Chains A and B, each alone.
Chain A
């Protein structure tokens, strides 16, 4: 028998109420229960950042977070960055800078970049490189990613 828990939270601006298994990860809730597959499963142990989401404005690895802890929180996933007006400037910048190759790491990379832009007023180019340490990309070599983020934040290289 597995314990269940009722959770109430906001997902990409919309209120949700669900009953879930207490041991379920936030990543499995998003991908397997809610069919929101923009958030990626890769390493499953917090090493790669592909599953990065925002919880109350802070970036976290959703593979390490208990979905039960969504209760009362404001969750934003990559799907939530797009609005009626179009893509988030961070998404556009990644496209313009050619920062994307296979694309698998990009949702996590963009969510972490969004977190950095939103929470660090005095971010430097070196600072954003440090801020993206928890996101692994096996194609691009990172340079174009850093340039895209620097462009959005408005910092010199």
Chain B
């Protein structure tokens, strides 16, 4: 069954360096192919029409792999979800990434899908985005300015502007995502919901990060997915918890505050009411897990 894709596909390039790729994207009439798991479907259903040139970045070796240097984790855009799942050093330094990768789609999709693709697809339900926001990650963007590579870094929190929309300019390529290794005692956890464990587009996803030392909660970050046009930080819930004593009904109060910060929709996967309910339950459980677990 062949579906006629939307848009124009009149040229195909498979660059092997970032510079070649940046040049191929420079005129703004190119679509980037990484794992393909989103692009193949979205070109067919019209959500992401081809822009003319298909630039397959899969041959750019320098874009793949994760490394920890100088207290910072840097994950290349082409690193697959399976790569993250199997990366022992990463799993030790940042267990939440393996925890999230393990809940990502299916084995077959994890073998193809890349972290850069999951970020650029900019779904409010994109699983890998949620822990990365809790880790206060930044993305690296590269483009060709006519004479050389221009790079800039954007905080992931400022990256998304709506469903499927980001601050990336058309000629830009996301090359990596990076974040500081969490300090000792700073714990990050992820949770997602759906009717079955595999292949589920999250109905609600959440990440919670905090340091709970001597009964006091600091460095609190609460991230929520699939409950607003972009993944969001629940800032007022964070403020309520920051420096507070982690006891009594703090988890319940923070969870209620977080549920008040979302703008969920009714769709085929869940009602807004149910998403609000799940958000409160997930946040409360994550807080209890991190602070009392």
Contacts and interface: CB of A to CB of B under 8 A. Distances in A.
Given A3-B10, A64-B37, A66-B33, A46 B109 contact: yes
Interface stretch (B1-9, B60-68, B138-146, B255-263): B1-9
Contacts of A65: 36, 40, 112
A46 B112 CA distance: 11
Interface string B15-56: 000000000000000000101110011010000001001101
Nearest to A65: B36
Most chain A beta-carbon neighbours within 10 Å: one of B54, B56, B105, B112? B112
A53 to B, nearest CB: 9
Contact of B40 (A55, A58, A63, A116): A63
29 contacts: A2-B9, A2-B10, A3-B11, A3-B12, A5-B12, A22-B11, A23-B9, A24-B2, A25-B40, A32-B2, A44-B3, A46-B37, A49-B106, A58-B111, A61-B108, A63-B40, A64-B41, A64-B109, A65-B40, A65-B112, A68-B56, A69-B33, A69-B36, A116-B107, A130-B198, A133-B199, A134-B106, A134-B198, A135-B106
B112 A61 contact: yes
Given A28-B2, A59-B107, A59-B111, A3 B9 contact: yes
A2 B10 CA distance: 5
Contact of A134 (B9, B10, B12, B199): B199
Given A49-B106, A115-B107, A1 B10 contact: yes
Nearest to B58: A69
A22 B9 contact: yes
Kindly state the interface size class of chain A when it binds its partner.
35 or more
Given A3-B11, A23-B50, A66-B56, A134 B109 contact: yes
Interface in B186-235: 197-199
Which 9 pairs across A and B sit closest by C-beta, in order of nearness? A134-B106, A133-B198, A22-B12, A58-B111, A3-B12, A5-B12, A64-B37, A61-B108, A134-B108
Contacts of B35: 64
A59 B108 CA distance: 5
Interface in A101-118: 112, 115-116
B58 A52 contact: no
B79 interface: no
Contacts of B198: 130, 133-134
Interface of A: 1-5, 22-25, 28, 32, 41, 44-47, 49, 52, 55, 58-61, 63-66, 68-69, 71, 112, 115-116, 130-131, 133-135
A1 B8 CA distance: 8
Interface residues of B, number: 32
Given A23-B50, A64-B36, A64-B40, A49 B108 contact: yes
B82 interface: yes
B56 A69 contact: yes
B41 A45 contact: yes
Interface string B155-199: 000000000000000000000000000000000000000000111
A5 B10 CA distance: 11
Contacts of A71: 14
Contacts of B3: 44
Most chain B beta-carbon neighbours within 10 Å: one of A28, A49, A61, A135? A61
B107 A68 contact: no
A45 B40 CA distance: 9
A46 B1 contact: no
A133 B10 CA distance: 37
B25 to A, nearest CB: 16
Most chain B beta-carbon neighbours within 10 Å: one of A47, A60, A130, A135? A60
A66 B50 contact: no
B93 to A, nearest CB: 23
Nearest to B50: A23
B229 to A, nearest CB: 23
A112 B108 CA distance: 8
